[in-house]
Amino acid sequence: MTNYLTKYDMEVIGAEDPYIGLSLLTQHDFDLIILDLTLPGMDGLEVIPKIREVSNIPIIISSARDDITDKVIGLERGADDYMPKPYDPRELVTRIKTILRRTHSVEEKPKVKEELFVADPSARSIRFKGEFLELTAAEYDILSMLIQHKNGSVSREQLLYESEHIDDDSSIKNIDVIISRIRQKIAKIDNEHSYIKPIRGVGYLLTDRV
């Protein structure tokens, strides 16, 4: 079997003793295990839970024991496939590739980080941790600008003059009042962290690095 799989560019390390196999599992980074059930010193079915104690590596049982009970127990204990001997080795290659393709695609799937603050300009709404914030028009303007410049400072003057719903004659201090109200609404969802930081002499910064 080792020689056959090598023809398909698979590097195989064999272990005739289950204890040696378990030891190898802690020393190497394997992609898959082909497990026989008739082993010296320990039944193959007993090996599966010991493997699962330390790894989620895929396991294909390859055994001359074709008892349905062995198959059921093997799969229940964590094996991914069961191939009773004799079988065409080409089928084993196909099953190995199928399992590796499935497991590798799960591992390599990029994790999309969920944004804490999500603004929807068309609906003029903002969600924080999945919950909608009840914002006035001016509060929406200010918070959406902070979101656009996330992790960067925005001056009070910019927040004042670029807002569509704050009068140009308003005082800069009005920005501080609006920011305070936004903070209070955010705190109703999460009061353990401060997401809007004051930048002395400049303005404010919105961060999700908590």
Q: Are 102 and 83 in contact (CB under 8 A)?
A: no
Average of pLDDT values for 42-62? 94
pLDDT tens, residue by residue, 84-119: 999 999 999 999 999 998 887 655 555 556 689 999
Q: Are 37 and 62 in contact (CB under 8 A)?
A: no
CB atoms within 10 A of CB 198: 14
Q: Do 2-108 and 117-206 share a fold? A: no
pLDDT tens, residue by residue, 58-72: 999 999 988 899 999
- One CATH from 1.10.10.10, 3.20.20.80, 3.10.129.10, 3.30.2450.30 for 117-206: 1.10.10.10
Which pTM was predicted?
A: 0.52
What are the distances in angstroms from CA 129 to CA 114, 123, 133, 148, 154? 8, 18, 10, 17, 22
pLDDT tens, residue by residue, 129-150: 999 999 999 999 999 999 999 9
So what's the pLDDT on residue 168? 65
So what's the pLDDT on residue 66? 80
Domain ranges of the chain: 2-108, 117-206
Helix (H, G, I), strand (E, B) or coil at 176: helix
Name which residue leads in pLDDT, 151 or 209: 151
Distance of CA 138 to the CA centre of its chain: 36
pLDDT tens, residue by residue, 151-196: 899 999 999 888 888 876 677 888 999 999 999 999 999 999 999 9
| Selection from 79, 94, 89 nearest residue 2 by Cα | 89
| Selection from 11, 95, 19 nearest residue 59 by Cα | 95
So what's the pLDDT on residue 169? 67
| CATH code for residues 2-108 | 3.40.50.2300
pLDDT tens, residue by residue, 3-25: 999 999 999 999 989 999 999 98
Average of pLDDT values for 20-48? 93
